[in-house]
Amino acid sequence: MKYVIIGGVAGGASAAARLKRIQEDAEIVIFEKGEYISYANCGLPYYIGNAIEDRRKLFVQTPVSFGNRYDADVRTLNEVIAIDRVRKVVMVKNLRNGKEYEESYDCLLLSPGAKPVVPKLPGIDLPHIYTLRNVPDCDHIKQRALEQLRDGAAVVIVGGGFIGLEMAENLHRIGYKVTIIEKSPHVLAPLDVPMAVIVQKHLCDNGVTVKTNCSLTGFKEDEGRLMVCTDGQEELPCDMAILSIGVRPNTELAQNCGLKIGESGGVLVDEYLRTSDEYIYAVGDVVEFTHPVTGKPYCNFLAGPANAQARIAAMNMVYPESVRYSGSVATAIAKIFDLTAASTGLNERQLQKLGMPYQTLITHPWPHANYYPGGEQIHMKLNFNPENGRVLGAQAVGRQYVDKQIDVISLLLKHEGTIFDMINSEHAYAPPYGSAKSPVMFAGMVAENIMAHLMNPIQAEELDQLLDQAEDIQLVDVRDIQEYKTGTIAHAENYPLDELRELMEDLDPNKKTVVFCEVGMRGYVAARILMQSGFTEIYNLIGGMKTYRLIGKHNRG
């Protein structure tokens, strides 16, 4: 059996290795138009920032070592330019000498990845405008960064996604003045506002300039420097610009040979990662599949799912329809200076666009026992279906143990898990490593309280709307007097939780009442006291003052 693979790295190289492990006599030919077959593309920003000093460590295998280990014919700098599905051959161009030739196949795997989005704007072809997708891109950025490094050296990063923020940190690390422009209201589109603003503040605290609601309009040169032009008529001088706007599936080959393209723009594959041609499979950034939560067509651009798909596709190429792919919930994570930001599943914007019912909550749990030294609260946001408790998405930001929480919730998402599964999840616990009630369990418990109507949540944005409209409400701050004096919400009165039972006679039980504390826990206890004491309309501010300080408009003190 002869297998031809188009593209290396996470998809193609992983599939080739799996193929050889399950079928030793397989004939495998890998075509890669670049020079490298297997490298750590997620590590490229860290090489630019010198966190990885040895360039050789980026390479998992060389073409020679990979070919020797897996008995594969690895042809780098050979670009597949066409596929003839009837004859079952690919047309290939040798980029070293320009010659073209054909190669036959019994079964074909497409893994051409994605292309960076490069908008057609004035000046886009000027020097020193880069994207980062592969090793040559990395080398060009690294060379330019070293050549221009001096006092006042500046870079503008267009786009505040995960890669853009990783580049911001790493270029700042080596001495660059970094400006991020982002056309959306906040950085990190997968995150909802309360989580994204934490990251944004951290970037600014570390010396990175962040300009949101700011769109790129073009580039020009002025006295030898590159000028980044924005829709606010501002021109940002820099020594280089990095486009981190996004990517699109590289479907040119698939389209030209007549394979079906899906609604979201990727190559349409079935549950076995088989395309509309039974002899052609596809994996990685190029494919479209069904989202496990929404049931809608979806493209995902992450290395983890690409590796998983490669293994499954290889099995099905040898043993057709033997292993199903369950899809991806887009679990992603990034290091941003001292913070970690991670997400999985759907955010509020996506849920609203799909018209799916959801409830959201914010918690600020300790990742391990708060009496054990060295701990620091993390910030978590959970989106769930209030009708059946199904988990829809989650986000977390913090300095430690963020990945642990998101990984657990990601697994639940893939298996249609609910908040009740979160409550019943079991975590390794000892004071240095966790809490008796893990952050995942705790978020599930808060969600259960909401579903059971033991607590009526109100979000910071909803409270601001009430205050903007001058609605007649009681705002009750149940923190201690010392906390209250450090600052509170406008018009709030202090009724410390431990004195609430004695003081609540001063409150009107028939008036809409919002209680709040620092993170939400004491607010919940206060709400339960008041709800069971004849108060008719009680709300607890989700995330408490810790969240409201970040996004609320009516802070006092």
* CB contact at 8 A, 187 and 203: yes
Separation between Cα atoms, residue 418 and residue 416, nearest integer Å: 7
Q: What are phi and psi of 237, to 5 degrees?
A: -75, 140
Pick left, alpha or beta for residue 171 (phi over 0 → left; psi -120 to 50 → alpha; otherwise beta): alpha
* CB contact at 8 A, 314 and 22: yes
Half-sphere exposure (CA, 13 Å, Cβ side) for 389?
Answer: 18
How many residues in total does the chain contain? Answer: 557
Distance of CA 300 to the CA centre of its chain: 10
Exposure string for 407-439, b = 16+ CB within 10 A, e = fewer? ebbbebbbeebbbbbbbebebeeeeeebbebbb
H or E segment and range at residue 548: helix 544-551
Structure tokens given for 300: 């995902």
The yes-or-no answer on residue 42 being catalytic is yes
* CB contact at 8 A, 348 and 192: yes
DSSP character string of 331-398: -EEEEETTEEEEEEE--HHHHHHHT---EEEEE---SS-TTSTT----EEEEEE-TTT-BEEEEEEEE
How far are the Cα atoms of 5, 368, 498, 520 from residue 543, in angstroms, in the given order? 50, 19, 20, 5
* CB contact at 8 A, 217 and 229: yes
Structure tokens given for 387: 């009708």
Half-sphere exposure (CA, 13 Å, Cβ side) for 363?
Answer: 21
Among candidate residues 42, 107, 214, 229, the one labeled active-site is 42
Q: Which residue in the block uniquely carries the two structure tokens 């041609």?
A: 277
Residues with active-site annotation = 42
